[in-house]
Amino acid sequence: MDKSEVAAVLEEIAVLLELHGENPFRANSYARAGRAIAQLETNIEDLVKAGTVDQIPGIGETLRDKITTLVTTGKLPFYEDLKAKTPPGWLQMLRLPGMGPKKVKALSDQLGIDTLEKLKEACDKGTVAKLKGFGAKTQTNILEGLAFLDQMGNRVRLDQAMMIAEGIVAELKKVPGIHRLELCGSVRRRKETIKDIDILVSADDAAPIMDAFVKLPNVQRVVGHGPTKSSVTIAGIDHHTQRVLINADLRVVSDAQFPFALNYFTGSKEHNIRLRQRAIDYGYKLNEYDLAGCKKKIKEEPDIYEALDLEYVSPELREDTGEIDAAAKKALPELLELGDLHGVFHNHTTWSDGAASLEQMADAARALGYDYLGIADHSQSLTVANGLTPKRVRDQQKEIDAFNAKQKNFRLFKGTEVDILADGSLDFDDETLASFDYVVASVHSFFNQPQEEITARIIKAINHPRVTMLGHATGRLLLRRDAYKVDLDAVMHAAAKAGTMIEINANPYRLDLDWIHCKRAKALGVQLVINPDAHATEELAFTRFGVDVARRGWLEKGDVFNTKTLAQVAKELEKRRTQAV
């Protein structure tokens, strides 16, 4: 068991204890221990072996013993018991915005609510609003949250699904007898949220592979165990040490069937229907095993497209938004690739709410092969994120200048993520704004403004001559919070006219701009830029999810600003700065 798994268990224990009304101090000691362990530089197993777990700050004897049991046996009876006596509905309620363990406990104690259905009923009757500490506004928020959950079902974010899927693939690869193995479904298409993981394998004998699959570590429940198809519910821990549960389906086919099955189970369903129609037009019949009637040899998935006189369609494009027509005309885009990027612009450091220093972020960027990194810490109004005052901006810029003076072939750009205030003005005076190499402007407050107001507010910022790019354009939090009511088309028109870029926020919790809007942005002539919004060195790796969005949105290298080299970017930013005077 590694430290992130241990940390996740401890943090979950903290939540469970609170739900059961335990002393908050005791609950908090688990949460704190979890965080301390997540940040350890050493291996937790080594500490357990050496018996030095209690030397971690905040960990006493009791915690030491529990951690030791957990690491050595992979199980902790105390935790298992807590989970067993917790109604699943309590945990589901926690997913509602604004709902913490205390509120869940109050609902359970005072109204006997332990499922989402009962919660909905009580809200409809108006009894929740009457509870102490709730009120009408909270009740409305709960109802909105319930509607949202209902719509999202049990989907998880792409990063969470990918991490579990990659883990399964690594384990399955050890099983003898597998010829080919691929992830399919929405994971292969890189959709931003995932219902279940689809895996396809070709082998002569399916039975041993089925057996290995249902016995994978972290399998919580075997949903089905058949001769060529099995389903499990599997658990994982994401990079914020959140526990994730998702279903995974494995199918085994013969090697000859593999390309057809891969194509079928990759989807989307709508793409499949179009492709099948095209096969019919050619006098063939396409299904998950065969392209009946076609005499060409089909060994790999691209051969299917070739047999139908189509360019190969990358999985990200298979959403029935015109890809088959474009493939027939050999007019598919040459999709952007992660390796095309030379740097990223929207990143935070310890100067505001980031976890790493300027230098650490720069080192991490260089390690990823980047030639430049933009530092865009928060502006003064965002006090919760330790936003920078103009004085601190000047200090930071001195540090960046000093850093750059020592560099060869790498540069930190001086940026800011300036707040767009409620009226559309910016959170810095013009002189401060003029001191940056570039400016990212973002909404971080007053999300609930009506459409005209928030649209005018964002457009005002876009038209400010110092604003280089619009940060997270819609403010959504995937599976948690809807976008603000902004008129995105009006925003994109304004951005095209003003020459202001729009960011594809690669943070997998956000992923705005949505891929569905990328094509439109491109058609209007908006320059896009992919930013991880990194608050830690590891989060620079979020960029890959932004590339996925761009690919799903048909974007090519030339559509994305940070495919430019250091020299090109430096020149362009300088030009924009001088023109803004």
Q: Which is nearer to Ca ion, 184 or 443 (CB)?
A: 184
> C-beta of 185: minimal distance to ligand DGT in Å?
3
CA dist 71 and 68 (Å) reads 5
Cβ-based nearer residue to Ca ion, 29 or 186: 186
The three-state DSSP-derived secondary structure of 164-192 is HHHHHHHHHCCCCCEEEEEEEHHHHHCCC
CB 492 within 8 A of CB 502: yes
Distance in Å, CB of 186 to Ca ion, minimum: 5
Q: What is the 3-state secondary structure (H, E, C) of 63-74?
A: HHHHHHHHHHHC
Residue from 11, 18, 196, 437 in contact with ligand DGT (CB under 6 A): 196
**Contact range with Zn ion by CB under 5 A, out of 68-76, 274-282, 318-326, 409-417:** 409-417
Q: Is 427 in the site for Ca ion (CB under 5 A)?
A: no
DSSP state of 131: S
* 182 contributes a contact to Ca ion by CB under 5 A: no
**Shorter beta-carbon distance to Ca ion: residue 265 or 515:** 265
Q: Under the criterion CB under 6 A, does residue 413 sit at the interface with ligand DGT?
A: no
Q: Outline where DSSP puts E strands in 226-271.
A: 229-237, 243-253
Quote the distance between the C-alpha of residue 264 and its chain's center.
Answer: 26
Least distance in angstroms from the C-beta of 232 to Ca ion: 14
In the bound complex, what is the minimum distance in angstroms from residue 351's beta carbon to ligand DGT? 39
Residue 265's nearest CA partner among 301, 221, 214 is: 301
Least distance CB 199 / Ca ion (angstroms): 10
> CA nearest 536: which of 208, 291, 240?
240
Q: How far apart are CA 402 and CA 394, in angstroms?
A: 12
Q: Does 160 bind ligand DGT (CB under 6 A)?
A: no
Cross-strand bridge partners of residue 243: 237
**Cβ closest to Zn ion, residue 512 vs residue 533:** 533
Confirm or reject binding of residue 417 to Zn ion (CB under 5 A). Answer: yes
196/231 Cα distance (integer angstroms): 10
Residues in 272-291 that interact with ligand DGT by CB under 6 A: 272-273
Shortest CB 267 distance to Ca ion, Å: 8
- Beta carbons of 500 and 470 less than 8 angstroms apart: yes
Sites for ligand DGT among residues 175-194 (CB under 6 A): 185-186, 191, 194
Cis peptide leading into residue 202 (ω within 30°): no
Q: Which of 160, 154, 28 is nearest to 92 (CA)?
A: 154
Stretch that binds Ca ion, among 120-128, 188-196, 318-326, 373-381 (CB under 5 A): 188-196
For residues 477 and 96, the answer to whether their CB atoms sit within 8 Å is: no
Q: Which of residues 29-88 bind Ca ion (CB under 5 A)?
A: none
Report the candidate in 554, 545, 485, 474 with the shortest Cα–Cα distance to residue 521: 554
Range in contact with ligand DGT (rule: CB under 6 A) among 225-233, 265-273, 456-464, 520-528: 265-273
Peptide bond before 513: cis, by omega within 30 degrees of 0?
yes
Q: What SS3 class is residue 364?
A: helix
Binding range to Ca ion, per CB under 5 A, among 18-26, 138-146, 195-203, 392-400: 195-203
Q: First and final CA of the chain: distance in angstroms?
A: 57
Which 3 state secondary structure label does DSSP give 111?
helix
Tokens at residue 328, please? Answer: 């027939």
- In DSSP terms, 417 is beta-bridged to 378, 440
Residue 419: closest CA among 465, 388, 379: 379
Among 89, 145, 185, 374, contact with Ca ion (rule: CB under 5 A): 185
Least Å from the CB of residue 276 to ligand DGT: 7
Query: Shortest gap between Cβ of 303 and Ca ion (angstroms)?
Result: 24
> Applying CB under 6 A, what is the total number of residues that bind ligand DGT?
14
Q: Which does 269 bind (CB under 5 to 8 A by kind): Ca ion, Zn ion, ligand DGT, none?
A: ligand DGT
* Cα(323)–Cα(314) distance, integer angstroms: 9
Which of 182, 192, 198, 548 forms a contact with Ca ion (CB under 5 A)?
A: 198
313 part of the interface to ligand DGT, by CB under 6 A: no
Nearest approach, Cβ of 415 to Zn ion (angstroms)? 11
Residue range at the interface with Zn ion (CB under 5 A); choices 286-294, 407-415, 416-424, 553-561: 416-424
Q: Which one of 301, 514, 533, 548 is in contact with Zn ion (CB under 5 A)? A: 533
For Ca ion, the closer of residues 318 and 464 by Cβ is: 318
Binding site for ligand DGT (CB under 6 A): 185-186, 191, 194-196, 198, 264-265, 267-269, 272-273
Binding site for Ca ion (CB under 5 A): 185-186, 196, 198
Binding site for Zn ion (CB under 5 A): 417, 533
